Structure 1
């Protein structure tokens, strides 16, 4: 009788339901973690020292900070793991970790993939900090650097085909180049790199996991600055790495050994900011596209750099042109007249926050390059970079239009 009752009960149980893939907003609000959420926000664990479990002691003995056990604050903590889970959810990545800055993430990736005498094939326009890092690696480690147009997979094919197999270290690009906002054809570039067995690392700071899904396009490892859109409120400095578990763990070990750990308070703010990232980015991107259209019609603007498909077709998989545009107003004096009289646009050297920022790359992000190097890359003294925030588009344009009138009139 008991057996029959058990049989009836088990037969009456519903079949297992396969849950459909969750959307990005849901994943960021409810990132998958090892333990169920106990509260609506992650715990902010400030502790740097933890009681060692047997598993944690084994990780310590092995010198492995990537096991997910609480050992020491420089290695990991519950709050850092919550931030890492958020980044993994953003990129739909098997693994991720967070660190002290975007440059810490970039240096870790370079150190993992590049041996002495290797060649990095990098897109022709990159963030100035990355340019400085590459120059340092050339001087100190014998690194060779070749350049390619991120819109031209055939050019990359020719470069990789001409390199000796042992010297092919890495293909490196940005989703949207800083500051010229040139889109990288991720799917085609990834296919070329894969044919030549060269890893492809992408800086997705400008894309923020929203413009395009890099790993789905074939990118091997994603790096980025969470200081910008992911955090999104101008109150933290952080970086991240996302991708396959083995590569991410190897880069994580390098970054930990360099001491580039993230403070738990910054990790907490990263999680907080990421929850609204798609909503913030969608609004800022729509405003940026609107401002680009208006700027193209203004007589004081010589050229608008924005990835909306007007000058350059958007590559496959891109959903928009991002929330940064640059305008060329001629020369350094004109750029200064534009920037110095603005009201809503804050003259500052970052991007990706709720407030709109303006900078002159030749005097800030790319000041480390010589004038000749900037000229070769198309970064003139009159180039002005605009990071669009969440203000009303009409208000931002009114402020910018007044600045452009000063450029046209030659006045202060």
Structure 2
């Protein structure tokens, strides 16, 4: 039986080898070969992870817990040994998540068939079966296939990042910061306390000020120049968008190295598309972004990044559209059969058309949808009549109504 130190050495060696092998696979980018190797690697890594976590446990002191003044070499060696075990375990888990994300990304964009039977991507484990498998690209793109070569298959995120440019490292830090932000619950107004002078006496009052107001100028109008104020109601926050630091590390590394300049914006756009092109039920099983929220009910600044150049932009623009999409999904519960002829990804496009200021061309461009299919989906939604109960801006759907319906409504308006 191997010692724990030997096991740690094996883990590090295998992860290094996987990192080298995977880099070679992306030169040809053969989807089937890639899936086969990902599945094989996951099996190996899971076995190691199970054994190492059993030996190491979860509550092991690290080097940081060691007093710097400690001179005893035996104690220092003991702490270092335990620290190395934890690092190997963390590296293993990061690598496993990277492999899972890669498989989920491929599965979200490709279907695999043996004959006419569709097979699960996770079952592709025999090399001799690869020639029998047919790969078909799905009609809609989820995520970004270009990031596949940049995931941390070796698990050593910091080492891989250290090989990149300064711009990539800065982008990595920005993406991590965005993904680690806690969601902010938007408020209509702030409760503030104001101290001001009136008739030579210091007075105090409390006010509700709209969040979009210029507080200083508003108070100056009311109290002149001599006042001071403080916020009484602070911003309420909720949990992070992705509650898994391995997922966050892999996403930050992949997008930062893929495109250091636009990486954060591209990730924001891909996450935005993810919520609109999938239903909540689909998000439960996709595994594209492990431990991401199925729906959001607060503001995350990463969703603002793709829209900052839009003329309608305001803080929370992207998040608000996703929140509305999630609310509409709940409203459609039990009514989905009425529009069963609209696939989820096209329904997402129709919903975005209804909740946003964008026209159908812009929606199709944003979500990567075929314009004709999107237009047809909006027409079907209008024919179902559900748009009147789902959206506030019903006039936007007027042009998709059959002409006879338009005439009928016009007559109804004339008759009062």
Structure-1-length-normalised TM-score: 0.26
Q: Which has the greater radius of gyration?
A: 2
Larger relative contact order (Cα-Cα within 8 Å, sequence gap ≥ 6): 1
Structure-2-length-normalised TM-score: 0.26
* Greater helix share, structure number: 2
